[in-house]
């Protein structure tokens, strides 16, 4: 039964539509995020979403923004200032990134859709770029001899590649690795220099690594 949009209120309905989108992308992937399906699951008329999100991209951007907020929270907890060496925090950030990507494949795919980031709706780049800034800062502390932004960009590209290829199953097949943590360790060594992995935080693979 379709609820009255007036009963929900504009703010409440707007948030409900985004909540439903977040649930839908987690259950069925980004391809399931149609305006009609979100409206149906929210219990409102098919035209209701357009009152709050005039375009499909705006609704998708609002859903993706939730993903960036969650990832930012995880990164903040993993890289908080403390006694840990910057490299250990950088390894923690990398594991968090892979965990998020592998555990939330639909949301991850949505967050990095080029059309959403380029559209400027809801300032997604304003949400994503500070995360890259954290990566740049940590790389700069570990590699003061290098162009931190360039190294961070290359490292991020590597993390993105591991997430995608592991999710597809290609990387496990190609490398024979049991977890993406093995590949992550090699990636960090390549960009930051090798270290003693007997006590390294980077030696512990992502907790999501056992997932296919």
Q: Give DSSP secondary structure letters for 36-52.
A: HHHHHHHTS-TTTHHHH
CB 79 within 8 A of CB 97: no
Lowest mean pLDDT among 7-16, 94-103, 161-170: 7-16
Please tell me which residue, 125 or 166, carries the higher pLDDT value.
166
Q: Which range, 4-8, 42-46, 114-118, 162-166, is most confident?
A: 162-166
Q: What is residue 205's predicted lDDT score, i.e. its pLDDT? A: 47
Residues 6+ apart with CB under 8 A from 46: 35, 36, 39, 40
Task: Find the mean pLDDT for residues 84-89.
Answer: 90
Task: Find the mean pLDDT for residues 133-138.
Answer: 95
Q: At what angle do helices 10-28 and 35-42 cross, to 10 degrees?
A: 110
Q: Which tokens hold the place of 189?
A: 């060594």
Reported confidence tier of residue 59, pLDDT bands at 50, 70, 90: very high
Task: Find the mean pLDDT for residues 163-182.
Answer: 94
Reported confidence tier of residue 196, pLDDT bands at 50, 70, 90: low
* 4 secondary structure, DSSP code: P
CB 77 within 8 A of CB 95: no
Residue 1 has pLDDT above 80, yes or no: no
Residue 212 has pLDDT above 90, yes or no: no
Please tell me which residue, 117 or 171, carries the higher pLDDT value.
171
What is the rounded distance in angstroms from the CA atom of residue 172 to the CA atom of residue 102?
Answer: 14
Residue 186 has pLDDT above 50, yes or no: yes
**Residue 111's closest CA among 102, 101, 99, 103?**
101
Q: What is residue 210's predicted lDDT score, i.e. its pLDDT? A: 41
Exposure on the CB side of residue 5, measured as CA atoms within 13 A = 17
What is the rounded distance in angstroms from the CA atom of residue 8 to the CA atom of residue 21?
Answer: 17
Reported confidence tier of residue 90, pLDDT bands at 50, 70, 90: very high
C-alpha dihedral (31, 165, 68, 65), degrees to nearest 10: -20
- What's the chain's average pLDDT? 86
CB 111 within 8 A of CB 25: no
Question: Strand locations in the chain, DSSP E?
Answer: none
What is the rounded distance in angstroms from the CA atom of residue 20 to the CA atom of residue 37?
Answer: 9
CB 184 within 8 A of CB 202: yes
Residue 203 has pLDDT above 60, yes or no: no
């Amino acid at each position: 039964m379709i609820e009255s949009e007036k009963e929900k209120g504009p703010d409440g309905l707007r948030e409900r539509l985004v909540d439903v989108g977040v649930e839908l992308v987690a259950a069925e992937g980004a391809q399931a995020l149609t305006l009609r399906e979100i409206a149906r699951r929210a219990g409102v008329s098919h035209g209701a979403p357009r009152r709050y999100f005039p375009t499909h991209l705006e609704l998708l951007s609002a859903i993706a923004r939730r993903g960036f907020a969650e990832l930012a929270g995880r990164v903040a907890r993993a890289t908080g200032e403390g006694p840990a060496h910057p490299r250990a925090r950088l390894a923690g950030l990398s594991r968090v990134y892979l965990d998020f990507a592998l555990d939330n494949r639909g949301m991850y795919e949505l967050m990095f859709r080029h059309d959403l980031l380029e559209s400027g709706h809801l300032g997604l780049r304003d949400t994503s770029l500070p995360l890259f800034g954290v990566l740049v800062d940590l790389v700069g502390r570990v590699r003061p001899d290098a162009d931190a932004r360039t190294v961070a960009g290359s490292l991020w590209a590597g993390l993105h590649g591991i997430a995608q290829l592991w999710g597809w199953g290609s990387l496990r097949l190609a490398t024979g690795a049991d977890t993406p943590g093995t590949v992550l360790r090699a990636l960090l060594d390549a960009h930051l220099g090798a270290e003693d992995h007997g006590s390294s935080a980077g030696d512990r693979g992502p907790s999501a690594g056992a997932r296919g």
